[in-house]
């Protein structure tokens, strides 16, 4: 499966809104750290990644978490995994 960046972004934002319904996706700055912008604790973060895993079928090992700081990082990572 290969998805363009825009579809990946909309999938990621939809998943984010499912966990943090008060978030306005348009206000998220994709080059800034995601978790602090949206106030995600470790449980929220895990639910977010589990949701992405269900939507996209991407397995994200714990050792890769450190790479996923900003939304841009995440999209790069997902594109790489789905390529």
Partner 1 sequence: MIPFELPSLGADMEDGTLLEWLIKPGDTVHRAQVVAIVDTSKAAVEVEIWQDGVVEALLVMPGEKVPVGTVLATLRELSQAPAPEAKATPQGPTAARAEVPGVSGQPAVPTPAAQPAGSDEPAQPAEPAETAQPALPAPAPALPPATTSSATPAARPTASALAQARHPVSPAARKRAHELDVDPERIAGTGPHGSVTVADVETAARCRSTEATRRPVPVPAPASDAATAAGPHPLPPAAALARERQKAMRKAIAAAMTRSKREIPHYYLAEQIPMGVALDWLQQVNAGRPIAERILPAALLLKMVALSLRRTPELNGLYRDGEFIPSEAVHAGVAISLRGGGLVAPALHDVATKPLGRLMSELSDLVRRARAGSLRSSEMTDPTLTVTNLGEQGVASVHGVIYPPQVALVGFGRIAQTAWAQNGWLCALPVVTASLAADHRVSDGHRGALFLAELRDRLQQPQALAESLGGAENPQSPQSPA
Binding site for partner 1 (CB under 8 A): 10-11, 13-15, 17-18, 20-22, 24-25, 39, 41-43, 46-47, 49-50, 53, 55, 59-63
Beta carbons within 10 angstroms of residue 6's beta carbon: 9
* C-alpha distance across the termini of the chain, in Å: 8
Tokens linked to 68? 């996923």
**Structure tokens, 73:** 């990082």
Nearer to partner 1, 19 or 70 (CB): 19
CB 74 within 8 A of CB 12: yes
Give, in degrees to the nearest 5, the angle at Cα 25 between 67 and 20: 80
Of the two residues 2 and 42, which places its CB atom closer to partner 1 in the complex? 42
Q: Which C-beta is closer to partner 1: that of 20 or that of 69? A: 20
Residue 12 Cβ, how far from partner 1 at the closest point, in Å? 10
Shortest separation between residue 73's beta carbon and partner 1, angstroms: 18
């Amino acid at each position: 499966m290969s998805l363009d960046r825009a579809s990946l972004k909309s999938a990621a934002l939809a998943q984010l809104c499912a966990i943090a319904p008060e978030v306005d996706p348009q206000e998220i700055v994709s080059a800034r750290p995601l978790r602090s912008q949206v106030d995600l604790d470790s449980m929220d973060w895990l639910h977010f990644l589990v949701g992405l895993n269900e939507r996209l079928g991407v397995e994200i090992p714990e050792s890769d978490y450190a790479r996923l700081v900003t939304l841009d990082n995440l999209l790069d990572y997902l594109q790489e995994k789905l390529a």
